Homo-oligomer: A and B are copies of this chain.
Amino acid sequence: MTDEGVPGAGQRAPLRPTRQRRAITDALAGAEEFQSAQDIHDALRHAGEKVGLATVYRTLQAMADAGEVDVLQAPGGEAAYRRCSASHHHHLVCRECGRTVEISGSSVERWTESVARDNGFSEVSHTIELVGLCADCSR
């Protein structure tokens, strides 16, 4: 069957490989952490690539829909993006001084997957935020 365009349930736009599209992909590939659309736009600027901010937003959104990037809602109403399958870890932040501790959570990863499976969900991504008082600030 060569029918690769059969109108059905969820057929997405073709996603043509343009210069700006590639630039954005590269920017994501080069960063380990989450970045906002504007961060990426700035990075492209500094790298000499001229890409409109609207294009960055549209592309990032398309990539998110296609499951190519993970999206995280940051406080302040910004959306942050990161390429999928990056080394996964979370942060424990002090609400008083902002000190941050990087934590790995193999147990949570496992818990996440089992919960997803139990409920028939797949391709589950998780966002975990731990905020508390660090030793110094609680004294």
Where the two chains meet, the residues of A that have a C-beta atom closer than 8 Å to any C-beta of B are 10, 71, 73-75, 77-79, 92, 94, 96, 101, 103, 105, 107-108, 111-112, 115-116, 119-135, 138
Report which residue of A111, A119, A121, A133 has the largest number of chain B beta carbons within 10 angstroms of its beta carbon: A121
Contact between B121 and A132, CB atoms less than 8 A apart = yes
Complex CA distance for A101 and B92, rounded to whole angstroms: 26
- What residues of B have a CB within 8 angstroms of the CB of A126 in the complex? 128-131
Let me know if A129 and B127 touch, CB within 8 A. Answer: yes
Q: How far is B120's CA from A134's CA once the two chains are assembled, in angstroms?
A: 6
Minimum-distance CB pairs A-B, first 9: A77-B77, A124-B132, A120-B135, A73-B73, A121-B132, A127-B129, A123-B133, A101-B119, A126-B130
Bound together, the chains give a CA A126 to CA B130 distance in angstroms of 4
With both beta carbons as reference points, the residue of chain B lying nearest to A115 in the complex is identified as B103
B138→A132 contact, CB < 8 A: no
Q: How far is the CB of A67 from chain B (nearest CB, A)?
A: 8
Report if A124-B131 is in contact (Cβ < 8 Å); known contacts: A75-B71, A78-B77: yes
